[in-house]
Amino acid sequence: MKDEKMKVVSLYPPALLVLSGKKYIVPMWQQVPMETELSDIDWSRPESKQLEVDPIIKQGFVTGSTGNEYFVKLHKSGKAECECWGYRRHKKDCKHIKGFRNEKL
Ligand SMILES: [Zn+2]
């Protein structure tokens, strides 16, 4: 009986796997002693930062070079979205987003 539990932080419950005579905790592939059992593991989920909302700090229409208007949104994290074809295809800042960022807030 071990006096200390092994702390494991992962999104999914860990499992024990024996490979080439060695025992691992998956999914993190951490090697553990052969006598380790699941009851020796103290499993917890990581604190979720993914679920935090990313508020929009600025949004509005930007007029493109062809005269079309595109709706651009800037998020607090620095992410931006534009509805133009270029942004949707490449998923990176287009000229509308760049122009929008350079405007004063
Ligand atoms: Zn755009």
Distance 49 CA to ligand 1 centre (A): 28
The rounded Å distance from CA 76 to ligand 1 centre is: 18
H or E element in which residue 76 lies: none
Average model confidence (pLDDT) across the chain: 89
What is the tens place of the pLDDT at every residue in 44-58? 988 766 566 889 999
> Is the predicted pLDDT of residue 3 greater than 80, yes or no?
no
pLDDT at 105 over 80: no
pLDDT tens digits, one per residue of 15-42 = 999 999 999 999 889 999 999 999 999 9
Centre of ligand 1 from the C-alpha of residue 102, in Å = 14
Higher-pLDDT residue of 13 and 103 is: 13
Q: pTM to 2 decimals?
A: 0.50
CA 67 to ligand 1 centroid distance, Å = 12
Q: Which tokens go with 39?
A: 């009851």
HEC-encoded secondary structure of 1-35: CCCCCEEEECCCCCEEEEECCEEEEECCCEEECCC
Neighbours of ion ligand 1 (CB under 5 A): 70, 82, 84, 87, 94, 96
| Mean pLDDT along residues 71-92 | 94
